Amino acid sequence: MMAEIHAILRTSGKVKALFQGHYHFGLQSAHDGIPYTTFIAMCENEKAFFTVEI
């Protein structure tokens, strides 16, 4: 399933980065040149939010 999702993101040509919330805070990786960053999940901290300027 993840390979299919990565393929959709890659072939769209529109995805510059992916940000997600999950328990694995601080995880960073890249798939096919798209950086993936994991922030702390809101269920872990009710004040979990980030602002990204593009």
Domain presence at residue 34: yes
Domain presence at residue 36: yes
**pLDDT reported for residue 51:** 79
The radius of gyration of the chain's CA atoms, rounded to the nearest angstrom, is: 12
Domain presence at residue 22: yes
| 26-41 per-position pLDDT tens digit | 677 787 888 888 887 7
Structure tokens at 6: 């990565």
Q: What is the largest CA-CA distance in the chain?
A: 34
Number of domains making up the chain: 1
The rounded distance, in Å, linking the Cα atoms of 6 and 23 is: 20
Domain presence at residue 47: no
Domain presence at residue 18: yes
**pLDDT reported for residue 14:** 93
Q: Say if residue 7's pLDDT is above 80.
A: yes
Asked if residue 39 lies in contact with residue 19, where contact means CB atoms within 8 angstroms, the answer is yes
Domain presence at residue 53: no
Domain presence at residue 26: yes
Q: Which domain holds residue 8?
A: 2-40
